[in-house]
Structure 1
């Protein structure tokens, strides 16, 4: 009778089956914890065309790494969203209403599906993180802000 029981279980004892199941679960959990390599991120300027497409006003702030007055910003930041040009594609991040206000009604943190951005003052800095909270872009620059007309 023991042989009939073993053949019904595929030749494994209950202890062997439990050990195999535990190994399989451990392999799946290890695979889920692995992070892909950091993807390079190139930040482009927000030119007037992008401003028009996303209906961005002149209110809020722009983040510049080029100190020249005619330079285009790398980010346009408003009270409800921030727009970036990431790897040639526009990306919109929503303001994190739980983060502190830092200037002209803008927040310190903006979040999206694949990235989050943090803006700091003194010195002005922009940090972008991937979905695993790893820094993929960081620069110091100038945050130029305009208050909405009243």
Structure 2
């Protein structure tokens, strides 16, 4: 049987891609990428990819389905990262102001590590502000 590789997946998304193709009526098979064994032994699992193939007659349809799936996943990622842009900029500005205050006090160089901790804290709080607000409102009702 003549097969065509339509997708290369990491182990975490392999079953999802196979399930999607099977649900759409395709007959996917997995092939191991020849370089994967070396990557698995040397570099770890992060570089390990598995090739997914379908019969040549199904290749165009399978690639179309996978393109749509990738586009939907990418839009989810873009939406999530777009939500983080505001908190990121706010945290950078807040830490910039803190650095300026520490510089004016003459203790900036002694507190450089504090700036990193402050940035992480401010970013985490700003990025999760809506969730924190919902949790605090929920706990007041009880």
Question: In which range does the TM-score fall when normalised by the shorter chain?
Answer: under 0.3
| Structure showing the higher helix proportion among its residues | 2
Identify which of structures 1 and 2 has the higher relative contact order when contacts are C-alpha pairs closer than 8 Å and 6+ apart. 2
TM-score (norm 1): 0.24
Greater share of strand: 1
Which structure is larger by alpha-carbon Rg, 1 or 2?
1
* TM-score, structure 2 normalization: 0.25
